Structure 1
Amino acid sequence: MRTKIAIVSAVTAIPLALSACGSSGDSAAADGTKSIGFISQAPRNDGGFTQFGLAGVNAAIEADKNLKLSSIVDNAANSQEQIQGLESLATKNQIVVADGASFNKAVAVVAPKYPKVRFILVAADLDAYAENVTSVTAAVGYNAIVVGAVASAHSRTKKLGMIAGLEVPSTTAWYHGMVQGAALENPNTKVVETYTGDFNDVGKAKQAAEAMIASGVDSILSDLDSGSRGVYQAAGGATSPTDVYDVFALHCDSSPHIIGSGVVSWSDILKNAVADAAADTLPAGAISYGLGTGALRFEFCPGKGTPEEKALVEKITKDITDGKIVADKGVLLPKPAYHFEQR
């Protein structure tokens, strides 16, 4: 599960209606206020990635009285809904946040029609440079290397698993990172992957986890939102000890089987990006946040992790930030051909 946070503020949803190009509210209001539109594939209160990103937007607004969140489109699941939602938001806002990797194609279609609107694409890059688009990603593969090493050290069967909703670059990065990290700790450790097709389906997640456990997997990384509850349930019902690792945030109270998490503070990343966009200092192109920024890190749940495992976390993290460990193929998102900044 990606995070559990309280809803920061209430906003009004807008209908998914196609709006005419050229009518964009692309300049600040007379009082200097800049409005922000937010669009996501999942529900805004999904208890996970979407809610985490929305919290970052709200944090930027709380820090700047000249910003306001005017509208949200959530549950934009297919390409038509995403394009229509982006069109509708771009007519009313100076900044539009597209929260999720699946929006890269829709943003590429809509952004050129609204050259004065700043689009922030989260967790994916565009295929080509756009002057009014900045993609912000987290180098989650680095976190996954640490998770893989820890999980391998803690595993009894040396069989690890990763469960995610959709097979997109940001989720496969968790898998490839786990493979690399596990091999660093023990070259004989195996890692398997499963994609349920839904980040929030508890039943599918439980079935996937049960299948893994039946095959001998004793440590599972859950790259899910509310669907993680299914993984916790499967671990709780297993006849043999099964460990769980979360992504993005710690959920130690959710299950006694959780060892730790590859924490990614999307809230901090979005707060930073929105604040820079409001100040007109956000560069176009792509920005990736890594372990050196503090936005990514591995954390154990209280009372979990041996001294040796904690020392392993420190060593792997330091070796990555010092450049001694270079990411294998698939661990990081491919660098775009245009302006790219690794932070």
Structure 2
Amino acid sequence: MNFTRRMFMAAAAAAMLSAGPALADEAKKVGILIPGSKSDKGWMESGYDGLAAAQEKYGDRLEVQMIENINYADMEQAITQLAIGNELVIGVGGQTQAAIYKIAPRFPDTSFSIVGGNEGEAPANIASYDVKQAEIAFVAGAAAAMLSTNGAVSYVGGLEIPSIVNAGAEFGNGARYINPDIKYFENYTGDFDDVAKSKEATLAAIAQGADVHYHILNLGLRGMEQAAREKSTHIIGSYTDRCGSDPLYVAYSITGVGFQVSYAIDELMAGSWAPGYKPFGLAMGPEASDIAVCESSAEMMEKLEQIKADIQTGRIKVLEG
């Protein structure tokens, strides 16, 4: 078996075993696949934070099996393993979708939730949660333009797939919404975890004047951090508000990955889990999508709030993804 597998039980697992069959029967079983590292300061860590919150909330009523940090080639094997014996399987990331679509029909009594899933025809036991990253990427671009002193910003994405490309396009559109003359540099490394390539891409943008950077990366973010520290530029982080933890970061876009993991588990626990496509994004509130500027003016936040409202009403139109 090539992939790394780790088992996590709810905090009171030992108590559950000693309490007898009645309590054990009440525990809901959830399998979760976190393809990358749960400490990547990004998408995967946000997903893990949502899982940890659910474990704390439900205690011995929840039993969790987690697989993390696997190769794409092992995705189907991982999903199959999680589908055996779990009532709900959660795939953290759109990269799990193809494997879940293939494996889910073999387990019709198991529910599957995809965090970062797309709208489309899917097996009847799958829920696809659309993060709608392009919405908040537009807002992040606007914030970047207001925070940049050089009038130049950059974006580095991992895989060049529609949702990642659309988010990059909308980051650039948001920056130009504030400053039509801003310089915008966009690059894709082909790998969410490639530290060297993301550093190289960021350094190339810095050489052309970019002083605020945005990303959709996992461990590759470390390369962007290295470049920004070396050249005294700044980053708008993704997924979770960590303002105050690192001066390198001037803002964070919140994309609710952990919120969606918790949402799927809440639905299971309440007996209300349902398949189908569900959009999250700005319409679902600040836990699902928001911008946090670490040191902002009232004028800046008023402008960003108006942009968020205009996206929701359709006055500002953004791409899907």
2:312 is equivalent to residue 321 of structure 1? yes
Residue 48 of structure 2: aligned partner: 54
Shift of 1:29: 9.2
Deviations 1:138-167 (A, max 9, x none): 122111111111212333443321012222
Shift of 1:321: 2.7
Q: TM-score if structure 1 supplies the norm length? A: 0.79
2:94 to 85, 101, 106: 101
Residue 107 of structure 2: aligned partner: 114
Residue 3 of structure 2: aligned partner: none
Bigger CA drift: 279-288 or 138-147?
Answer: 279-288
- Which sections of structure 1, spanning at least 5 residues, go unmatched? 1-8, 13-27, 334-343
User: For residues 109 and 119 of structure 2, what CA distance do their matches in structure 1 show?
Assistant: 18
2:229 is equivalent to residue 236 of structure 1? yes
**Amino acid of the structure 2 residue aligned with 1:11:** F
Residue 77 of structure 1: aligned partner: 71
Shift of 1:117: 0.1
1:282 to 259, 273, 278: 273
1:249 to 240, 245, 263: 240
Deviations 1:50-87 (A, max 9, x none): 232123233234333564334222223224x1111111
Deviations 1:34-57 (A, max 9, x none): 211111221344443223212323
User: For residues 127 and 206 of structure 1, what CA distance do their matches in structure 2 show?
Assistant: 35
Shift of the 93–208 alpha-carbon distance from structure 1 to 2, 3 Å rule, reads: same
- Which sections of structure 2, spanning at least 5 residues, go unmatched? 1-5, 10-21
Deviations 1:273-314 (A, max 9, x none): 22113333222111121213222111111xx23443222212
Shift of the 229–76 alpha-carbon distance from structure 1 to 2, 3 Å rule, reads: closer
Preserved CA contact (<8 Å) 1:163 1:196:
yes
Secondary structure at 1:64's aligned position in 2?
helix
Deviations 1:196-233 (A, max 9, x none): 23333433322221111112222211322343233233
Residue 166 of structure 1: aligned partner: 159
Residue 31 of structure 1: aligned partner: 25
**Amino acid of the structure 1 residue aligned with 2:118:** D
Matches within 5 A, 1:202-241: 202-238=195-231
Secondary structure at 2:193's aligned position in 1?
coil
User: For residues 251 and 55 of structure 1, what CA distance do their matches in structure 2 show?
Assistant: 13
User: For residues 41 and 30 of structure 1, what CA distance do their matches in structure 2 show?
Assistant: 29
User: For residues 255 and 30 of structure 1, what CA distance do their matches in structure 2 show?
Assistant: 43
Q: Percent of counterpart pairs with the same letter? A: 28
Q: TM-score if structure 2 supplies the norm length? A: 0.84
Bigger CA drift: 197-206 or 90-99?
Answer: 197-206
Shift of 1:258: 2.1
Shift of 1:236: 2.6
Residue 332 of structure 1: aligned partner: 320
Preserved CA contact (<8 Å) 2:89 2:113:
yes
Preserved CA contact (<8 Å) 2:7 2:65:
no
Q: CA RMSD in A?
A: 2.6
2:35 to 21, 38, 41: 41
Shift of the 311–232 alpha-carbon distance from structure 1 to 2, 3 Å rule, reads: same
Shift of the 314–46 alpha-carbon distance from structure 1 to 2, 3 Å rule, reads: closer
2:146 is equivalent to residue 153 of structure 1? yes
How many equivalent residue pairs?
302
Instruction: Say which structure is richer in helix.
Output: 2
**Amino acid of the structure 1 residue aligned with 2:35:** Q
Shift of 1:252: 4.0
**Amino acid of the structure 2 residue aligned with 1:282:** W
